[in-house]
Chain A
Amino acid sequence: MSADRSRILDLLAGGKITAEEAERLLDALDAHAGAATAASGSAIKGDPEPLIAALPKYLYVKVLAANGDNVDVKIPIVLVRSGLKLTSLIPPLAMDKINDTMAEHGMSVDFNNFKPEDIDELIGGLRDMEVNVDAKNGDTVRVYCA
């Protein structure tokens, strides 16, 4: 196993990247190594650092209210992942209360059904996600990862 491949797997094992991200990195590494081999005729080890650096690191939430109030939040993706994983450990009684309260406020998300693999998939999907809301009253909300 190459050192780069091993590093990617270490990042995956350490929870720094998701399984989907690791797969993409490994694919890119293979493609890079294949292209390099074809070009030079020798096996050149690909450096995954630029690929890792290209992964989104932050979740941005930008709210521009028509009345002039602006909120801009930058959240590390690792914090999002860590926080979501924490929900699977919350005691059932407390989780029921959280679900009830959220349902009362119009968000019927059942966190009891959150599984670690769902969280990884959710985080992986954030990469391509962008939410833009333009309200009638002039408020705008933008959520994206970069």
Chain B
Amino acid sequence: MNVPPLVLDLRVVRPERRPVRLWLPLFLLWPLALVLGAVALLLTLVADGVLLVLGRRYHHYTVLLVRSFETLGETRGMVIRFSNEKTAVDMTVQ
């Protein structure tokens, strides 16, 4: 598993206007994500336990949650650029 994204670098360029560059510190959200993830993990464990006892075929919410966090962690390096005659937007996940 990779290190989750640290910063979202956002650049907006418009003609005849000052370019805007924002570094959004995603790492500040990690503690919040950790708390929410812990609560969600508890809930999914209970849900999967209940589903397993009930004999349901699908009881993978916990794995789904963990894999979702892993997928979020893999977003580092993603770049999205959009440009037209009026605006150029550049978003990089670092």
Contacts and interface: CB of A to CB of B under 8 A. Distances in A.
B81 A89 contact: no
Interface in A47-61: 57-58
A115 interface: no
A86 B71 contact: yes
B6 to A, nearest CB: 15
A68 B84 contact: yes
A68 B85 contact: yes
Interface string A82-94: 1101100111100
**Interface size bucket, A side?**
20 to 34
Contacts of A76: 74-78
Contacts, number: 61
A79 B78 contact: yes
A67 B86 CA distance: 12
Nearest to B63: A89
A82 B2 CA distance: 11
B28 to A, nearest CB: 22
Nearest to A16: B2
Contacts of B74: 76, 78-79, 82
A89 B82 contact: no
Given A68-B84, A82-B71, A58 B63 contact: no
A103 interface: no
B82 A75 contact: no
A70 interface: yes
Contact of B71 (A67, A73, A79, A91): A79
Contacts of B85: 68
A69 interface: yes
14 contacts: A69-B82, A73-B79, A73-B80, A74-B78, A76-B78, A79-B74, A82-B71, A82-B74, A85-B67, A86-B64, A86-B68, A86-B71, A90-B64, A91-B64
Q: Which 3 A-B pairs have the closest CB atoms?
A: A74-B79, A72-B81, A79-B74
Interface of A: 57-58, 67-76, 78-79, 82-83, 85-86, 89-92
